[in-house]
Amino acid sequence: MYDSAATMFSPDGRIYQVEYAREAVKRGTTAVGVIYGEGAVLLVDKRISSKLIEAQAVEKIFKIDRHMGCASSGLVGDARMLVARARAVSANNRVTYGESIEVNVLVKDLSDIMQAYTQNGGVRPFGAAFLIAGIDPDGTVRLFETDPSGAVVAYKASAIGVGRAAAMEFLEEKYRADLAQDAAIKLGMQALYKHVDTSQPLVGGEPTVDVALVSAKDGYRLLAADEVKRHLQMRDQP
């Protein structure tokens, strides 16, 4: 009976609808974020299961603003709605104040919306989590992880989705603060595929992973397919 509404606590202090939303995230595709010297890299396993699927149509990485992007896991529809909110907040800040919004301000606004959906009747929690990477106006590189409960944690490297446990164990062992861009992409690739079979990384000739970079120099940039293929080929090289 305690899982009939998002506003109902169980006797042991749990909100089952929030836990179910977290389970939706755990069943989603793996996403990894890594901070390197001058920026951050976001990677998502798109899990293309058929050569009939248009790989470009599977969107798990989103541009929020010129200085910020995010990777999602869980229900894509829920993620798109929250990304639309994030884009509107960021654009409004630019129009109002004439500068890019600080990453933590944007993340807190988004997490407030997610938290509100855990305590109102007639709604359900969002079944999506994010890794949000961006550059603050002072040049600081930031990486945040959000949770369906509305919790936010800042990381140097993190993972969400079905492969989180294996990826986090790998990142904790291998991450270094002095990583170069290519090394960060390679580390993210290796962490991303810790949970899956890597013998067939490509389906129908298309990469099964999207990669985006966020840096102070170039802002947000989604890597082209040929660049992703090159990094996939270098993933297992020493």
Task: Summarize pLDDT for 178-193 with one digit per residue, the tens.
Answer: 999 999 999 999 999 8
Nearest Cα to Cα of residue 213 among 69, 32, 64, 47: 69
Question: What local confidence, expressed as pLDDT, does residue 48 receive?
Answer: 72
Question: What local confidence, expressed as pLDDT, does residue 56 receive?
Answer: 77
Question: What local confidence, expressed as pLDDT, does residue 165 receive?
Answer: 95
Which residue in the block uniquely carries the two structure tokens 């541009």? Answer: 63
Question: What local confidence, expressed as pLDDT, does residue 206 receive?
Answer: 54
Residue 26 confidence class, pLDDT cut points 50, 70, 90: very high
Question: 126-151, pLDDT tens digit by residue?
Answer: 999 999 999 999 999 999 999 999 99
pLDDT exceeds 80 at position 238: no
* Lowest-confidence region among 79-88, 147-156, 200-209: 200-209
Q: Which domains does the chain have, with CATH numbers?
A: 16-234 (3.60.20.10)
Question: What local confidence, expressed as pLDDT, does residue 24 receive?
Answer: 95
Nearest Cα to Cα of residue 33 among 61, 56, 55: 61
Mean local confidence (pLDDT), 152-181: 95
Residue 200 confidence class, pLDDT cut points 50, 70, 90: very low
Question: Which of the pair, 63 or 237, is modelled with greater confidence?
Answer: 63
Mean local confidence (pLDDT), 79-102: 95
